[in-house]
Amino acid sequence: MSVRYPNGKKFSPNRSFSTTNNVKKDERFSNRGMTLEEDINETNEYYRAHNIAVIHKKPTPLQIVNVHYPKRSAAVVTEAYFKKPSTTDYNGVYKGRYIDFEAKETKNKTSFPLKNFHDHQINHMKQVLAHDGISFTLLRFTLFDEVFLVFAKDLFSYVDNQDKKRKSIPKKDIEQFGTLITLGLHPRIDYLKIIDKMI
C-alpha cells in the first residue's frame, strides 16, 4: 500500500522487523528492540484488561485514493494520503479525568530535539490543559532505554522559545523536571503511577 503525506511525499515507516524465531527467551530482555509505541500499546492493553483505565492510540485520518479488489470479499488500499496533521498520539480516561499525551523517542545521548514537537501538537496540549485535562509527553532515549514522563506545562517553556537559540531540551533538564519511569513487564511503561501522584 502506498501512503502519502498531504504534500505528496511517500510515507515510509522507519521500522525493521526481525524474522528470527527464538524459542527460549530471557523475559528480562524480551521487550528490547520494541518501539516506544509498541511498549505503550502493550501497557494500555494491560490497563484496559485490568479495568484500570481506557486509553487508546488515536487513528491517523487517511484519505483513500486507490483501492484494488483482488477478490470480491477483499479490498486492498493501494494509495492513500494523510488528510491533516493529527493532534497527539493517545487519549482516554482515568479515574474520571481526561488524559491526552504524545510519545517521542530519540537516539541522541544528551538532549531531545525540539523539532520533534509540532505547533499543532503543542496547541492541542494547551487546549487540553485549559479544560482541566491531563496532558504530558513520554520521551524515550533509545540508547539508554530510558523513558521520562514530562508534563506539558514543563515542555512549553522550551518549545515556546524554539525560535530563539534553543534547538533541544538538555537531558539533564529532563532528568530534573521529568520523571524516569522504571520499565517493567506488566505493565511495561507504568505511566499512570506518576499520574496518581498529581490527582
Q: Which residues are annotated as a binding site for Mg(2+)?
A: 87, 89, 102, 121
C-alpha 116/C-alpha 125 separation (Å) is 15
**116 Cβ partners below 8 Å, 6+ apart?**
104, 106
Backbone Cα Rg of the chain: 19
Q: Which residues are annotated as a binding site?
A: 87, 89, 102, 121
Cell numbers placing 22 = 527464538
Is 143:199 a contact under the CB 8 Å cutoff? Answer: no
Is 190:43 a contact under the CB 8 Å cutoff? Answer: yes
